[in-house]
Structure 1
């Protein structure tokens, strides 16, 4: 028979278990509420930013004598004001995507080399150097691009123009100087550590059984990477690319230093000229009046929308590739 002491001890133990479960459930509720509140708070901040930009942009949009979406000239301080974002949108998107095209293959190659090919000591050193590039201020990249890259890139530009001039982007008669191509190279170097670092971390998270299974079947190192590593890390690499693209879209000082402002849209990226939203804002904000500043805020609103669309598209792509991470 069970003694009274044993019954009491069991009752005390059961009471403690109920209190622990109850406390755990309260903790779960608190955590769920905190997470939900944080998510709502982020949405509120984004909505507040959008509302502020719209509110400040309305005066300039009402006073504008041109077409805000299609005009290529920017005379927001004129009388009457006339401005449009066509050239700014073209320069921003073109330079950012060219930078992404140049940086992504190099960044993925660096990440794969550090993760699977380089000796451990060498890999640690290379990883540190690549990560260190992200800490360099953007104005340093801009000054380097202006005083070194612009002065020494003519042989490469002439080569592209001579042998690839049949393609519209590399065509042109007066090539060289502060062009969208130079700006794209600077942006590519700036986003390289972001894409490389995130891709490297994603590749290192590939489950070891996946790699060992491929090697057990006789796959070479490259076949193992192609069959096991890249499919698993595809969504992470896409996320890294989108973070790099977001950095390139919003870059200000570096791109403002290496681009020369020439009115109009020019598809020949090797010729001088080009402008972006961020570069136009930093160049003209100080000398702008009320309408001019309102116009710049309106252009910032468009950049905000473009960035949101890019991130939403990236999220959709990552969601479709979710099965590779499971």
Structure 2
């Protein structure tokens, strides 16, 4: 009797009980591990909420717009740290995105010999592996002294603007922005490179087939096709910049005195937590927990925005 294709399909569908048991066990393990991630996140959120309840009840939303931070008088406001967190992250992103995407194009689009592209890619990966404390030391002893004459020139030329109104005297917001650029550049470059490499080669060939130049193909075809992945990487880098602690703490100046100037010392929420939590006592702990809750909400907002942007761009360029 000759077996028909339907009989073969039926035989293929019959699986031993052991395999079914393995599948069920793997499914159960996946559910447990995924649930653990959610439980850990919920536990962190509940801990921060419980710890911040006293400060939240006392200050309310005024905590967001007041810059006074006086542990001796139990008067707290996180506006300086919130301003520093947002400004330093956004400015770092504005500088790092063109550099990161440009480096990714440089690596993936055969603009230079293969050996040089591999060397640049390796250097980017090594940059991502450097510990943040090492970058902070480099910022203190190398980058900041090198930048000080440039920042002084900016103050002399553009000192009439609020953002350059103070004399640079060492650590400040501007060096912190630049060290954040160094830290998030590998993230943007790596994710942009992977996104560009995932673009189907048929799109490139089709663009060249209709007579476009290489740069027209890159700007009008390849980048739009990879824009959702690149945007996801950019938003991921923004979240990293907002939560970066050690390198920024070492170079930003850690001042709670509010100033619009990028040349003056400043603070971020992560730096404030790192500096003060170890010695905090009493009501100050609740105020720091409240600041930590604000940082969590900011990063959550960034992630939600990233998901929305990536989804919209995926639908637009699908």
- 1:217 shift after superposition: 1.4
1:222 maps to 2:215: yes
Once residues 26 and 226 of structure 1 are traced to their aligned partners in structure 2, the CA distance between those partners, rounded to angstroms, is 51
Counterpart contact for 2:166–2:261, Cα < 8 Å: no
Whole-angstrom CA distance in 2 between matches of 1:132 and 1:310: 27
Structure 2 contact 51–286 (Cα < 8 Å) conserved: yes
Name which of structure 1's ranges 301-310 and 114-123 shifts more when overlaid on structure 2: 114-123
Contact persistence 1:67–1:83 (CA under 8 A): no
- Residues in 1 aligned to 2:238 and 2:102: alpha-carbon distance in whole angstroms: 18
1:3 alignment partner in structure 2: none
Deviates more, 1:9-18 or 1:137-146: 9-18
How far apart in 2 are the matches of 1:65 and 1:203? 46
Matches within 5 A, 1:1-326: 6=1, 13=8, 15-20=10-15, 39-62=34-57, 67-76=62-71, 78=72, 80-116=73-109, 117-165=111-159, 167-169=161-163, 171-270=164-263, 272-323=264-315, 326=318
* Cα distance between partner residues in 2 of 1:197 and 1:274: 30
**Deviation, structure 1 residue 41:** 4.2
Name the CA distance, whole Å, in 2 between partners of 1:14 and 1:122: 52
Contact kept? 2:173, 2:265, Cα under 8 Å:
yes
Residue by residue over 1:218-241, the C-alpha shift from the partner in whole angstroms, topping out at 9 and shown as x without a partner, is 211111101211101111111111
- Partners of 2:155 and 2:167 within 8 A in 1: no
1:200-229 Cα deviation digits (max 9, x unpaired): 111111100100011111211111101211
**How big is each residue's C-alpha offset from its partner over 1:264-297, in whole Å with a ceiling of 9 and x where there is no partner?**
3211112x21111111111112221132223212
SS at match of 2:129: coil
Separation in 2 of the partners of 1:74 and 1:91? 14
What's the CA shift for 1:18?
4.1
Contact residue 48 and residue 292 of structure 2 kept, 8 A = yes
1:28-66 deviation per Cα after TM superposition (whole angstroms, max 9, x unaligned):
887777666655543333222211110111234456699
- The TM-score normalised by the length of structure 1 is 0.87
Greater Rg over alpha carbons, structure: 1
CA RMSD of aligned residues (A): 3.0
- Shift in CA distance, 273/218, structure 1 to aligned 2, threshold 3 Å: same
Q: Where do 5+ consecutive residues of structure 2 fail to align?
A: none
**CA separation of 1:319/1:35 partners in 2, compared to 1, >3 Å: closer, same or farther?**
farther
Q: For the residues of structure 2 that align with 1:176 and 1:159, how far apart are their CA atoms? A: 13
